[in-house]
Structure 1
Amino acid sequence: MNAITFLAGVATLALTTSMAQASGLDVNINNEAARFAASGEVSPGIELGGSLLSSDDNGGLTAAGIQLMGTESTRTYEVGAGPRLSHYDSDHGQGGGLGLGGFGYVYLPAVPKLSVGGYGVYTPGALTYQDFDHGSELGARARYRVAHNVQAYVGYRRVGAEFDDGDNETLDSGPLVGVNLLF
């Protein structure tokens, strides 16, 4: 992991939690990757979040991101959409850009503590810098509320990118387990 990228990720998370009272801390892992994320509501329906991903799945990858999302949450669903600024430091190239993404989860009526859904972010080539040409991140999760403020989940994540060399690379992919602490 590049020290500059790691420090940028830590700074992103520090900025996120200093600008907003934390409303969630999320950690997920698998055999080759770990991600830490924090988010907070800056005003009703607007969340600011940051994340740091370290992966050895397809070479080395450190990815940091900060996002601003409009969100809505009810007893039956959670949705959100907004921009995300990401930076990637990988064996395949460096750079990042401004993308647009969203998430959606539905609570199952038969099992009210269980929700299923996913998220996606796309970063087009017009909004990138350095070696990064364009990229995407897609994920799916099944979440279970084990306590009032704790969700445990299983899921799948795929982070893909194309760098200036023209090769499409899967930088990180695979199943994961995680926990989300809600405040």
Structure 2
Amino acid sequence: MRFRIILAALAAGFSSAVSADSLDINLNDDSIQAIYATNWRTAEFNAGLLSNSDQNDWAASIGLLALGEQQTGETRIEGGLGGKIYLADVANQDVLALGLGGQFRTFPNNGPIGLSGFLYYAPDIVTAMDGEKFWEWGARAEFEVVKKTANIYLGYRKVRADLDNGQNVTVDSGLHAGIKITF
């Protein structure tokens, strides 16, 4: 069932009139995440789905980030600020949240090895349904197989929801491996 949801989300992304910029897929023993992103002017629109089969939890998101890139000497730095709307089913509870945050990437000496990270946080005021707070954060070490086109990476991610009933549920936490293809 979760596999069909992921395929439907990817198909919906490819059927839009706007051409895609990247597809990012990562997984570990218990979870899989797919993110489809497209650039529009100086912004990135993304849609993703995270599914954790171990806990039967999932989180879908759509986001919009203002992006920028800077070359300082030999180092390439990329960053973005914006937000994501999350819809999640965790511990048989539904959560709707607006997370604000951003992401960064750096490639020292403009080489093939890079570091990146992201953080999005939704406090109680912008979290609805059965949720009280929601956040997602992570970091990864990347290797550009083909410059600005194909990356492989190892990362760590934590996605957590605090519920109205007092439960603090970790939707996903741990190491994952992935690929990001830009086209």
Name the TM tier (shorter chain): 0.7 to 0.9
RMSD: 2.4
Partner residue of 1:69 out of 65, 78, 81: 65
Structure 1 residue ranges, 4+ long, deviating more than 6 angstroms after superposition: none
Report deviation, 1:20: 3.0
Gaps of 5+ in 2: none
Partner residue of 2:56 out of 45, 57, 60: 60
Alignment of 1:123-138 (within 5 A): 123-138=122-137
**CA–CA distance in 1 between the matches of 2:132 and 2:8?**
25
- One-letter amino acid of the counterpart of residue 48, structure 2: S
Report deviation, 1:17: 6.1
The answer to whether 1:78 aligns with 2:74 is no
3-state SS of 2:94 partner: strand
User: Could you tell me whether the CA contact under 8 Å between 1:104 and 1:119 is conserved in 2?
Assistant: yes
The answer to whether 1:112 aligns with 2:108 is no
**CA–CA distance in 2 between the matches of 1:19 and 1:85?**
22
Count residues with an aligned counterpart. 178
Distance 1:38 1:101, change over 3 A: same
Gaps of 5+ in 1: none
**CA–CA distance in 1 between the matches of 2:167 and 2:91?**
12
The match for 2:167 is 167
Alignment of 1:149-168 (within 5 A): 149-168=149-168
Q: Which moved more, 1:27-36 or 1:14-23?
A: 14-23
**TM-score, normalised via structure 2 length:** 0.88
User: Could you tell me whether the CA contact under 8 Å between 1:35 and 1:54 is conserved in 2?
Assistant: yes
Report deviation, 1:94: 1.0
Distance 1:116 1:11, change over 3 A: closer
Distance 1:105 1:78, change over 3 A: same
**TM-score, normalised via structure 1 length:** 0.88
